[in-house]
Amino acid sequence: MQPTDNRSLLMTYTVFHIGTYISFAVAIIAAQKIGLVLTGGVMRFSLALLVLASICGAIVASHLPDSDSWEDYKKMLMGPFGLPLLKYCWWAKAEHICAWIAFLVPLSLAIVYPQALK
């Protein structure tokens, strides 16, 4: 059985994720600019995590053209500015961990303790 070349799917998936992160980050910044209660440290922390998730996603996407196959891509060391730091699986994990914390912590606090978001 031939292994599937998932690079095209990964590019689509990653571009969607980066767009989602940017949308949420812009919403936080806009809320802060118009004076809504989303100005506390929790929201700033969430914003920073969304930026980190976007950077990790950009690293994942920007190295896709550098490989000839899915297997090569998974073995490749990648990082910002072409620095060979970590493999794809670590960048993907970092992206998802940052994004989920950025989404779930403020959401959980909004439900349990809304004053924490001020």
By 3-state DSSP, what share of the chain in percent is helix, strand and coil, each rounded to 5?
75, 5, 20
* Token couple for 112: 């349990």
pLDDT at position 40 is 77
Residue 84 vs residue 1, higher pLDDT: 84
Mean pLDDT check: name the lowest of 5-9, 39-43, 61-65, 66-70. 39-43
Contacts for 23 with CB less than 8 Å, ≥ 6 apart? none
Report, as an integer, the average pLDDT of 74-80.
96
50 vs 31: which has the higher pLDDT: 50
pLDDT at 27: 87
The reply to whether the predicted model has a pTM over 0.75 is: yes
